């Protein structure tokens, strides 16, 4: 079993997948007679004695404590700090980069709210709840287990922002699995659609995101498998209580207090590391968005304006006409502008207030990494984003005739 785990965590396995998909380190490419021969200088797993496998693990553990910057984690970089690589299959390159984007903030702040604005707020609420749970568990596990990301070389790393984070589990894999299958399971009681088609879409989307983490060189095969399995286990354990929690979230008088206090407490008590990592800030962002959305949905329920589909459930899937497409596009653009605008305004104001409170010069951008500044500014910012998404945007649509 240990040998299997070491094999699945081997960076050479990721590098082989990248080469199969047409992504090569420049330093590993040697051209001869118009043909390309790849030589990474790294033995394959089959050629490695057990002692060398242990040396690889020791080498990775040694690097895990100093991977604050990409260069310090063994990354092959160019003159401007970018990895030097060669792309020989541009179709897969753009496909996997697009798939990887489904796990970034841009997707969460646009596509998830679009489900609320154009389909059913119930589904958006359910997705945000599960998303916040699995992402918090995944982020904490990363910083508790402290298993490093794949080394470069032999791996090509296409993302450098999160390279200071640890690897296992892959939160992209966790988010993709939970969002895809939570939407599938929840939509069956709300919207009429062919389940087999929905299942195929869920499998394809989650698989693309998982494979993208290998292609971008940010996770080992073990990271991705564990991420998907942990997400599936969390869904299995919580599924019997989804309806109970939904009722509590919408009707309990203490729901707003729980929704705000618990995530803020979890953000402040997030595990400390010996170096700065984006995990605490990203986790606070997710918890803040979940808290704001939860309070907003509770407010809508108290006001009797939930903006949910009317009629006998499940309702027919809306027909995609030119008019419906135009309205949906307009809603998405107005909503995205509202959320991004809220984010920028509240972020600027909250940072100014915190810098003033702690006597920090406004020019000191590194100060926002301190817990006493990072946690409150991110939590307040994204709580406001969640509130605007769940309360204000639909009302703006009514005013605009959308």
pLDDT of residue 75: 40
CA angle (211, 98, 291) in 5-degree steps: 90
Q: How many CB atoms lie within 10 A of CB 51?
A: 8
Residues 241 and 259 placed together within one structural domain of the fold: no
Residue ranges of the chain with pLDDT lower than 70? Answer: 27-83
* Residue 333 and residue 212 in one domain: no
In this prediction, residue 42 carries a pLDDT of 40
Let me know if residue 99 belongs to a domain: yes
Closest CA to 179 of 114, 241, 240, 243: 114
- In the set 31, 219, 247, 275, the catalytic residue is 219
188 and 298 both lie in a single domain: no
pLDDT for res 7: 84
Q: What is the pLDDT of residue 401?
A: 84
Question: What's the pLDDT score for residue 319?
Answer: 79
274 shares a domain with 247: no
Q: pLDDT per residue over 135-188, tens digit each?
A: 999 999 998 998 889 888 888 888 877 777 788 899 999 999 999 999 999 998
What are the two backbone dihedrals, phi and then psi, of residue 370, each rounded to the nearest 5 degrees? -70, 140
Please indicate, yes or no, whether residues 275 and 394 belong to a single structural domain of this protein: yes
pLDDT for 234 = 95
312 belongs to a structural domain: no
Q: What is the pTM of this model?
A: 0.82
Identify whether residues 290 and 212 lie together within a single domain: no
Q: What is the pLDDT of residue 47?
A: 43
Q: How many domains does the chain have?
A: 2
| Same domain as 65, residue 75 | yes
Q: Which domain holds residue 365?
A: 253-306+319-402
Q: Tell me whether residue 219 is one of the annotated catalytic residues.
A: yes
The answer to whether residue 172 is catalytic is yes
CB 37 within 8 A of CB 64: no
**Residue 311, in any domain of the structure:** no
For residues 291 and 157, state if they share a domain: no
Clarify whether residues 350 and 227 are in a common domain.
no
Secondary-structure breakdown of the chain: helix, strand, coil percentages, each rounded to the nearest 5: 70, 5, 25
* Strands, E assignment, 208-332: 315-316
Phi-psi group of 306: left, alpha or beta (phi > 0 → left; psi -120 to 50 → alpha; rest → beta): alpha
Catalytic residue among 9, 80, 116, 172: 172
DSSP line for 250-263 = HH-TTHHHHHHHHH
pLDDT, residue 3, reads: 85
With 0-12 / 13-18 / 19 or more C-beta atoms within 10 angstroms meaning exposed / middle / buried, residue 33 is exposed
d(CA 56, CA 123): 45
- Does one domain contain both 266 and 378? yes
Is 100 in the same domain as 239?
yes
Does 293 lie in the same domain as 154? Answer: no
- Cα 96 to chain center, whole Å? 15
Residue 38: phi, psi to the nearest 5? -100, 130
> Does residue 30 belong to any structural domain of this protein?
yes
């Amino acid at each position: 079993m240990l040998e299997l785990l070491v094999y699945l965590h081997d960076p050479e396995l990721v590098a082989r997948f990248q080469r199969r998909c047409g992504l090569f380190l420049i330093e590993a490419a040697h051209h001869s007679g118009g043909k390309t021969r790849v030589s990474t200088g790294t033995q394959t797993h089959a050629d490695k004695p057990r002692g060398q496998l242990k040396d690889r693990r020791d080498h990775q553990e040694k690097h895990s404590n100093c991977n604050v910057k990409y260069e310090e984690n063994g990354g092959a970089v160019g003159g401007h700090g970018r990895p030097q690589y060669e792309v020989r299959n541009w179709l897969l390159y753009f496909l996997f980069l697009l798939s990887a984007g489904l796990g970034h903030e841009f997707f969460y702040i646009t596509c998830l709210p679009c489900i609320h604005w154009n389909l059913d707020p119930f589904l958006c609420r359910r997705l945000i709840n599960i998303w916040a749970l699995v992402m918090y568990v995944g982020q904490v596990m990363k910083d508790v287990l402290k298993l490093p990301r794949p080394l470069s070389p032999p791996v090509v790393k296409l993302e450098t922002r999160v390279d200071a984070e640890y690897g296992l589990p892959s939160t992209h894999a966790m988010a993709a699995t939970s969002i895809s299958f939570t939407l599938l399971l929840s939509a069956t009681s709300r919207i009429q659609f062919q389940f087999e088609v929905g299942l195929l879409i869920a499998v394809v989307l989650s698989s693309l995101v998982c494979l993208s983490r290998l292609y971008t060189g940010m996770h080992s095969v073990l990271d991705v498998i564990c991420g998907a399995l942990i997400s599936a286990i969390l869904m299995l354990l919580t599924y019997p209580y989804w309806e109970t929690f939904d009722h509590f979230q919408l009707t309990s008088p203490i729901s707003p207090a729980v929704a705000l206090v618990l995530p803020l407490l979890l953000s402040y008590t997030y595990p400390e590391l010996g170096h700065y990592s984006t995990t605490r800030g990203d986790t606070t962002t997710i918890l803040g968005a979940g808290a704001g959305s939860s309070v907003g949905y509770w407010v809508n329920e108290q006001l009797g304006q939930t903006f949910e589909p009317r009629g006998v459930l499940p309702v027919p899937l809306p027909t995609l006409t030119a008019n419906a497409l135009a309205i949906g596009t307009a809603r998405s653009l107005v909503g995205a502008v509202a959320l991004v605008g809220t984010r920028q305004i509240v972020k600027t104001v909250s940072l100014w207030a915190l810098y003033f409170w702690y006597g920090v010069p406004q020019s000191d951008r590194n100060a926002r990494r301190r817990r006493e500044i990072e946690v409150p500014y991110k939590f307040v910012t994204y709580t406001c984003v969640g509130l605007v998404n769940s309360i204000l945007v639909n009302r703006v649509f009514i005013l605009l005739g959308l």
